[in-house]
Amino acid sequence: MSSKMHRATTTAPELEKVLDETKRSPFTARLSAVHVRHVNKVKLIPYNGLTDPKIFLKSMYIAINGAHFSTEEAMLGAAKCSYRELTSVFLQHHSFFMIKEATNADLWTMFQRDNEPLRTFIERFKKVVSNIAIKDNAAIGDLRNALMFVSRFREDLIIARPSTFDDALHRANRLYRD
């Protein structure tokens, strides 16, 4: 890097010292040897459909705004679409993958609200459990922890632990019938 900045001299001794050190740095030769080629085409990372699309859309927006298409590409229609059109096409194509599925965290944060009937809570709990691959023991434990502390059903689950999650649901069914 033999630029004018490295050849500049000044009366300030600190500046000269810094300039001399940068000339002797092993990175100076490496950086000057790097060839940076100009890239015209937009290179987007493919969206896998499993993560949040906001980050992908933002990077796509930045890439499209920074892209300078050649006249041939513009004639072929590569630069024809606006950001809104590309976003809508992307969302239409990947909307199937963006449907929020339930996670184990949803079970852990779930709880029976005050004055919420057991039937309503069990229905809500079953909807979440049906979307998750979870073992019976874990589902029963999550159900017990999510119930109100003074619940009769919770006491029943603690005293006589059900063998399967279906057994626990049948017990709940019997309790809210009574």
| Position with higher pLDDT, 112 vs 57 | 112
| Position with higher pLDDT, 10 vs 56 | 56
Give the number of domains in the chain: 3
| Position with higher pLDDT, 99 vs 21 | 21
- Please give the pLDDT value at position 16: 75
The per-residue DSSP string of 67-104 comes to ----HHHHHHTTT-S-HHHHHHHHHHHHTTTTSPPP-H
Mean pLDDT of 172-177: 79
Tokens 């949803």 label which residue? 106
132, 178, 141, 135: which is closest to 161 by C-alpha? Answer: 141
State the chain's mean pLDDT as an integer.
Answer: 73
Judge if 15 and 76 occupy the same domain.
no
The Cα–Cα gap between 20 and 7 comes to: 10
Structure token pair of residue 122:
């069990």
The Cα–Cα gap between 56 and 48 comes to: 10
Mean pLDDT of 22-38: 64
The Cα–Cα gap between 32 and 2 comes to: 9
Judge if 43 and 75 occupy the same domain.
yes
The parent domain of residue 15 ranges over 4-33
Provide long-range contacts, Cβ within 8 A and 24+ apart, for 96-105: 96/49, 97/49, 97/50, 98/49, 98/53, 101/131, 101/132, 102/127, 102/128, 102/129, 102/131, 102/132, 103/132, 104/132, 104/134
Judge if 169 and 112 occupy the same domain.
yes
Tell me the whole-structure pTM to 2 decimals.
0.43
Judge if 114 and 142 occupy the same domain.
yes
Judge if 80 and 128 occupy the same domain.
no
Range of 8-17, 18-27, 76-85, 106-115 with top mean pLDDT:
106-115
CATH classification at residue 140: 1.10.1200
Over residues 50-101, the pLDDT tens digits come to 777 777 777 766 666 655 555 655 555 544 456 676 677 667 766 666 666 7
Judge if 138 and 122 occupy the same domain.
yes
Mean pLDDT of 149-170: 87
Judge if 165 and 111 occupy the same domain.
yes
The least confident of 17-31, 74-88, 127-141 is 74-88
Backbone angles phi, psi at 117, to 5 degrees: -65, 150
